[in-house]
């Protein structure tokens, strides 16, 4: 996973397409040239992808948490191959904990995610706050690093978190399914000026 420079940030594109960012921009549309995001070879080591994973009870419905964990495994593996840093914040019940990073996940595999369970309420604001603290800390240590925040949630929370100032780019991945949708992930993305996508946009179509 890369993403140091891309069209959205006004940089001159590099030679490699950054597929996670491209798919997030494409969403459900047919892929067009304006969706393409490119990785900068020179700055790819100064990228951090911070993932905030909703582990609440509602994410157990319809295997949403299992799907999110599968996505994370793929994205961490991609980060390892491109030497990007990654971090994982899990929230659920009354807790929000940093489970990994920020580090380059060189030996990431499914056993890291196997202990991550689900249950309890959805303290979305607490999870985002913990991620914001992490991003602020890395900003002080590495001020030129490109910081991406990925929020993986079904949005079933009464919380309404503030946008983390230290996040350069934000992607909200909406896991809400079913006929009765609250569409809180969409509202959050709109308020934050973030990109909104669904899991199928990132997994591949």
Q: How far apart (Å, rounded) are the C-alpha atoms in residues 38 and 159?
A: 34
44-203 CATH:
3.40.50.410
Write down the pTM of the prediction: 0.76
- Contacts (Cβ under 8 Å, ≥6 apart) of 11: 5, 38, 40
Of 165, 166, 157, nearest to 188 (Cα)? Answer: 157
Of 21, 22, 15, 23, nearest to 40 (Cα)? Answer: 15
pLDDT truncated to tens, each residue of the chain (205 aa)? 444 433 333 333 444 677 777 777 777 777 777 777 776 554 444 899 999 999 988 888 888 998 998 888 888 888 888 888 999 999 988 889 998 889 888 766 666 666 676 777 889 999 999 999 999 999 999 999 999 999 999 998 888 999 999 999 999 999 998 777 889 999 999 999 999 999 888 775 3
- Contacts (Cβ under 8 Å, ≥6 apart) of 46: 4, 142, 144, 145, 146
pLDDT of the residue at 177: 86
| Secondary structure element (H or E) that encloses residue 203, with its range | helix 199-203
Q: Delimit the domains of the chain by residue range.
A: 44-203
| Secondary structure element (H or E) that encloses residue 113, with its range | helix 110-113
pLDDT of the residue at 115: 65
Q: What counts of helices (H) and strands (E) characterise the chain?
A: 6, 8
pLDDT of the residue at 83: 86
pLDDT of the residue at 173: 95
């Amino acid at each position: 996973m890369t993403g140091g420079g891309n069209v959205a940030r006004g940089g001159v594109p590099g030679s490699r397409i950054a597929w996670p960012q491209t798919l997030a921009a494409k969403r459900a549309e047919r892929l067009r040239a304006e969706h393409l995001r490119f990785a900068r070879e020179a700055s790819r080591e100064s990228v951090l992808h911070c993932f905030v994973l909703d582990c609440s009870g509602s994410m157990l419905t319809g295997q949403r948490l299992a799907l999110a964990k599968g996505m994370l495994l793929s994205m961490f593996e991609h980060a390892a191959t491109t030497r990007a840093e990654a971090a994982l914040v899990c929230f659920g019940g009354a807790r929000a904990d940093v489970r990994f990073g920020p580090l380059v996940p060189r030996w990431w595999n499914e056993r890291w995610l196997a202990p991550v369970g689900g249950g309890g309420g959805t303290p979305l604001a607490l999870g985002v706050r913990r991620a914001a603290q992490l991003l602020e800390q890395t900003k002080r240590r590495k001020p030129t690093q490109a910081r991406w925040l990925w929020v993986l949630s079904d949005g079933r929370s009464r919380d309404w978190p503030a946008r983390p100032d230290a996040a350069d780019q934000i992607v909200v991945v909406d896991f809400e399914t079913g006929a009765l949708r609250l569409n809180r992930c969409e509202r959050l993305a709109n308020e934050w000026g973030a990109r909104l996508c669904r899991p199928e946009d990132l997994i591949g179509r």
